[in-house]
A and B are shown apart, each in its own frame.
Chain A
Amino acid sequence: MIVADRKPFDEIMGMIEPYRKILLVGCNECATVCAVGGTKEVALLASQIRMKSQVEGRHIEVDEKTLERQCDPEYACTLAGTLEDYDAVLSIACGCGIQFIAETFPERKVLPGVNTRFMGVTEKHGVWAERCQGCGNCVLDRTCGICPVTRCAKSIMNGPCGGSQDGQCELRNDIPCAWQLIIDRLKARGELDRYSEIEKPKDWSTSRDGGPRKRVREDMKL
């Protein structure tokens, strides 16, 4: 899923400062699962905005809406006809959803209520961690299902580096060394001999180095 953090409240209030009537839009997908932009968080933020504006003697009207997915035209389009009533849209979906609403309704002011962080997993309740950088050329078959691109701070393909200390990354001691994890798993599987296979330099053109990416499936186009 895509994981995000809510923007600092003061920053949100600063963004909506010129507006009187706001539509606060959440998303039922990743933003809900990472507890940043679902129906619940929409209600909380709307309540906070109403209270803050009341305390400051202003009046900001906030309506609430949560779309099934903000990153999909099927659902983004459902906002058509309602946005005319609002001065601005405050979206608390991920950056994809926010952009897609802005793209679908270019004449509307669409503001981000979250900072989108990474593609990750729920490690445990309330804890999310990065697992994929979308490099476009997956190596997980060769690394026992542990991604060195994402989980190694240097994204090195033949590790570990000299900064691996007691199984931790030198960057921070709460980051496990990805290559230590890979070696441990190879050992546990009795496949340590595979560690001697040298990974060739990675072609990063499939990653961000190749510019913004797009996927097209001709058979699915209508």
Chain B
Amino acid sequence: MRLSYPASVKIVKVPCTGRVDVIHILQAFEGGADGVCLVGCQEGDCHYVAGNIRARKRVEYAQTLLNEAGVGGDRLQMYNLSASDGRKFAQVAREITDRVHALGPSPLGKVSGFAFRVSGSRTDDNG
């Protein structure tokens, strides 16, 4: 189809949106993302039965945490579309990019890159 979507969108592949935890979303924002978008299968079509339903609930919770932290929950959005619907995906990518453009840069300001943490330790990259 050779569809284009904004180059500012970085894709992180997961086997199912049910794999995405709230901390992954917060880490993306701490790592410098201006917005995060979860793209899952249509509700009712989950190969793992309820992965995308759980993801939706986690997105709602993450929005609350982001609002509390002053980052803004509206920078996070979830979409449901079929894996075969490339056209819709390109449209979603443009839509989230426009939304983030309208919101402006993340209030977290300039950060150096992703910082992955485990309990009790911290590793920063210098990217």
> Which residues of A have CB within 8 Å of B108?
51, 54-55
> Which residues of B have CB within 8 Å of A54?
107-109
* Dominant SS among interface residues on chain B: mixed
Pick the interface stretch among A61-69, A89-97, A104-112, A161-169.
A61-69
Q: Is the CB of B119 within 8 A of A39?
A: yes
Interface size on B, residues (CB 8 A): 20
A51 to B30, CA, bound (A): 7
A44-B120 contact given A51-B30, A55-B108, CB 8 Å threshold: no
Q: Is the CB of A52 within 8 A of B68?
A: yes
A46 to B122, CA, bound (A): 12
Q: Is the CB of B27 within 8 A of A63?
A: no
A65 to B117, CA, bound (A): 11
Q: Which of A1-21 contact B (CB under 8 A)?
A: 9-10
> Which residues of A have CB within 8 Å of B71?
51, 55
A57 to B70, CA, bound (A): 12
* Dominant SS among interface residues on chain A: helix
Q: Can you give 8 A-B contacts (C-beta < 8 A)?
A: A26-B119, A47-B23, A47-B69, A50-B30, A51-B69, A51-B71, A64-B117, A66-B119
**20 further A-B pairs in the complex, CB-CB below 8 A; given A51-B71, A55-B71, A64-B117:** A10-B68, A26-B119, A40-B21, A40-B23, A43-B23, A43-B119, A44-B26, A44-B65, A47-B69, A48-B65, A48-B69, A51-B26, A51-B29, A51-B69, A51-B108, A52-B70, A63-B122, A64-B119, A64-B120, A66-B120
Mark B residues whose CB is within 8 Å of A.
21-23, 26-27, 29-30, 65-66, 68-71, 107-109, 117, 119-120, 122
